[in-house]
A = this chain, B = another copy of it.
C-alpha cells in the first residue's frame, strides 16, 4: 500500500452520526517538523467527502483552514453535505482532536463537488516555456529534511529550497519544479490536494532566512476531472509558485499545477502566517 493511501485511510466512526463521521490518524511517513504535513490533512478532509455515501460528482473547489496545530494521533472528521443541487454539491467538513482533555476543532474545510459537462475550454495562464524534462533535472536532496518532503520527488528548475539560509534577500520567490509522489502513485484528487500544499513557504525562497510559519487557509480549484488525472498517471506534474504580498505577519502565495501536456490541472492559493 502506498504511504499516501495509508495516510488518508479513514474508517467509519462508531460514534454519533456515523453517516458523516470518519476516523483517521496522522502518519509518520508524512510528518513535518512538528505534527503532520498540512497537505495530508487537506487530503484527509477531501477524502472524507470522497468516501461519503451521499457524494455527487467530483471536486471542483476545496478550501482548508488550519485552525490549530494538529498533534500526532487520531483525528475525527465530520463531513456534511449542506446543499445538493442538480449538478453541484456543497460540503462543510471539520477535523477534531482531543487536546488538553477536551476536543477541539483543528481544521475546517468547505468543498464544492460537481458533475461536469464538456464545454468550450481553454488555458489562459501560460505554462513556463523551455522547461527541461524531469529526467534532465536532478532530484532535490532530502537528507536531513522532515519525512514529508521525502515522500515527494521534487526537481527544481528555478527557485529551489535554499541550501543555506544565508539571509541574502532574493528579488522574487518564484519556483518552477517537477513534482510527483515518491514512491510513484497515480495522480488523483486527494494526491493533487496534498501536492497543492507542497510548495515550500515563499518567504524561505525570498529571504533565505528562517521564520516561524504556518498556513492558515488554502484554496484549490480543480480544473482536471478524473479522466484527465488518469492521463497524467504516475508522471511528474509541473508546479509553479510565487508570493504576491507580505504584510504584518501574513503573506499569500499562489501556485499552478500543470500536466506534462500543458493542461492546467489545478490552481491553488494560500495565506501563511509568519513571524520574523
A30 at the interface (CB under 8 A from B): no
Binding stretch for chain B, among A15-23, A86-94, A158-166, A184-192 = A86-94
Binding stretch for chain B, among A46-54, A57-65, A128-136, A143-151 = A57-65
Q: Nearest residue in B to A60 (C-beta to C-beta)?
A: B250
Given that A63-B63, A110-B217 are contacting pairs, would A124 and B172 also be in contact in the complex, using a CB cutoff of 8 Å?
yes
By the criterion of a CB under 8 Å from any partner CB, how many residues of chain A are at the interface?
Answer: 63
Query: How far, in whole Å, are A71 and B180 apart by their CA atoms in the complex?
Result: 45
CB distance from A83 to the nearest CB of B (A): 4
Give chain B residues whose Cβ lies under 8 Å from the Cβ of A7. none
Binding stretch for chain B, among A34-42, A230-238, A268-276 = A268-276
Give chain B residues whose Cβ lies under 8 Å from the Cβ of A114. 216, 249-250, 273
Q: Are B246 and A121 in contact (CB under 8 A)?
A: yes
Give chain B residues whose Cβ lies under 8 Å from the Cβ of A82. 67, 94, 105, 108
Given that A250-B114, A273-B88 are contacting pairs, would A244 and B256 also be in contact in the complex, using a CB cutoff of 8 Å?
yes
A117 at the interface (CB under 8 A from B): yes
Give chain B residues whose Cβ lies under 8 Å from the Cβ of A223. 245, 247, 250, 252
Give chain B residues whose Cβ lies under 8 Å from the Cβ of A247. 119, 121, 223-224, 264
Q: Are A245 and B123 in contact (CB under 8 A)?
A: yes
Given that A68-B85, A82-B67, A108-B110 are contacting pairs, would A124 and B248 also be in contact in the complex, using a CB cutoff of 8 Å?
no
B61, B106, B207, B264: the one contacting A245 at CB < 8 Å is B264
A206 at the interface (CB under 8 A from B): yes
Given that A90-B65, A267-B252 are contacting pairs, would A206 and B246 also be in contact in the complex, using a CB cutoff of 8 Å?
no
A11 at the interface (CB under 8 A from B): no
A122 at the interface (CB under 8 A from B): yes
A118 at the interface (CB under 8 A from B): yes
Give chain B residues whose Cβ lies under 8 Å from the Cβ of A182. none
Query: How far, in whole Å, are A252 and B256 apart by their CA atoms in the complex?
Result: 12
